[in-house]
Structure 1
Amino acid sequence: MPAKTKEQKTAACMALAMKRGDLKKTPGTPAGDMAESMTEEQLVELCGSKVKKGG
């Protein structure tokens, strides 16, 4: 599943870092919510994807 925006990809990468313990978890932020609701595998896929162009 490709990221739809650059901001979504950035949030996914931050969420992945939170899930791995590299960043402090911040509930209530988009990245914090993603870290809580998604698996590490989903975040790796989203963080590593290119931003989807078009719509």
Structure 2
Amino acid sequence: MSDRPTPSPEELAANVAAAQQWADDYAAGAIATWVLIDRLEVHLQTLGAL
């Protein structure tokens, strides 16, 4: 068993909020990357490179 103290409800809520923010930021980055790749593909097709 761990010697760490049990976190308070406030600490748990803060950790959950931080994890949710990280997940939101990660998802936003993934979507932005997908959009960038999609636009690049369109430009390359326009140039006849693909």
Under a length normalisation based on structure 2, what TM-score does the superposition of the two structures give? 0.36
Q: Which protein has greater RCO, CA pairs closer than 8 Å, 6+ apart?
A: 1
The structure carrying a bigger helix percent of its residues is 2
